[in-house]
Amino acid sequence: MSAYKVYLILIASLFTLSLSAQTSSSPSLVTHDPTEEAINLYNYINNISGKQTLAGQHSVPLLGSTRLPMVYRITGKYPALFGQDFGFSAPGDWDGINFRQSLVDEAIKRNNEGFIITLMWHAVPPTQDEPVTFSKSIQGDLTDKEWQELITPGTRLNERWKSQVDVIAFFLKQLQYAHVPVIWRPYHEMNGDWFWWGKKKGEDGYKKLYKMLFDRLVNFHGLHNLIWVFNTNEYKPGVDPLAEYYPGDNYVDIITTDVYTQGFDQENYDQITKLAKNKPIALGEVGTLPSPEILKAQPKWTWFMNWGDPGGKSFETYKDPQVITLESLPWVKIKNPTLHYPIIK
């Protein structure tokens, strides 16, 4: 029996307020008829908003979940969130597309252990075929003509884009069959100009692409286990305000931002809380962990996810009682987990 199913059975005794029911002040998931697991996870995130913050660790396809025991060796605790990427590069590479099935198997295994799963996708532009390189493809661009063709139904680029999305849907559907809710973080950092989907303004720009993806995954493929994230980059010179590309409340469950250079400044926090209204917010990627003082001053962050190798970084934040690690999640029975190893093949 998965940890989430155990959670459902014990939920009444764990909380005085049931997390399986929406409250009048909490937002509902934007996906119609969401899975029970997605509802419960989203309610849990809403419940901790303003009170506690989940610790997270991102990994890459080649490394499987090896960064999880690395964090454990440093802190004596596992992060609550396990993040991965569907990749784009040659088989056996850092971001190899051949690891996708192993990634799904790993996510199912970690979910059964109690980890919260968050996934992203450095998508290849529809003008190219996988595998590709990061700098020449993911960080490439589309001409205005190519972009218009992409968003126009029935065109060659639109059909190619749908085929690419369908590949990822195959793996996401496996997670739905396994009752794994997924915090889904597509087309991130769109307010910067370093990805092919970045700084595409107007209703026919990034907003259109995000809505197309939502429609393809939810309405065409019937994926109801996804919690949809709108993930910006921190606002700074050369990066547009966070609200510029927001597709609308009907397409977004959680709003996140990535912080690498601005030091968790108040301006970015104010922008994201204003945009989110009553929706949860989080730190999608961080180069360094927010300090306990930052979390106290900015309490609405529902999670942070360390990007990159844990080695050489300060993890003092893990000692903060405000921070939730794996053993503190209410559905996790094992309070002192032992080191584990990836199942990557």
Cα(283)–Cα(303) distance, integer angstroms: 6
Cα(188)–Cα(116) distance, integer angstroms: 19
Cα(345)–Cα(340) distance, integer angstroms: 15
The DSSP 8-state label assigned to residue 218 in this structure reads: I
Structure tokens at 122: 């450095």
Q: Which residues of 244-282 are buried (b: 16+ CB within 10 A; e: fewer)?
A: bbbbeeebbbbbbbbbeeeebbeebbebbeebbeebbbb
Q: For the chain, which ranges sit under pLDDT 50?
A: 8-24, 342-345
Cα(185)–Cα(119) distance, integer angstroms: 6
The domain ranges of the chain are 3-18+34-328
SS3 (DSSP) at 166: helix
Q: Which CATH class is domain 3-18+34-328?
A: alpha beta
Backbone angles phi, psi at 103, to 5 degrees: -60, -45
Q: What is the pLDDT of residue 7?
A: 54
Q: What is the pLDDT of residue 6?
A: 52
* Amino acid of residue 139: Q
Cα(106)–Cα(100) distance, integer angstroms: 10
pTM of the full structure:
0.92
Q: What is the pLDDT of residue 338?
A: 57
CB 85 within 8 A of CB 119: yes
Q: For 21, how many CA atoms within 13 A lie in the half-sphere containing its CB?
A: 8
CB 221 within 8 A of CB 176: no
* Amino acid of residue 123: A
Cα(197)–Cα(124) distance, integer angstroms: 10
Q: What is the pLDDT of residue 21?
A: 42
Active site residues per annotation: 189, 285
Structure tokens at 52: 């506690």
Considering only CA atoms, which of 41, 84, 79, 43 is closest in space to residue 62?
Answer: 84
Q: What is the pLDDT of residue 147?
A: 98
* pLDDT per position as a tens digit, 132-165: 999 999 999 999 999 999 999 999 999 999 999 9
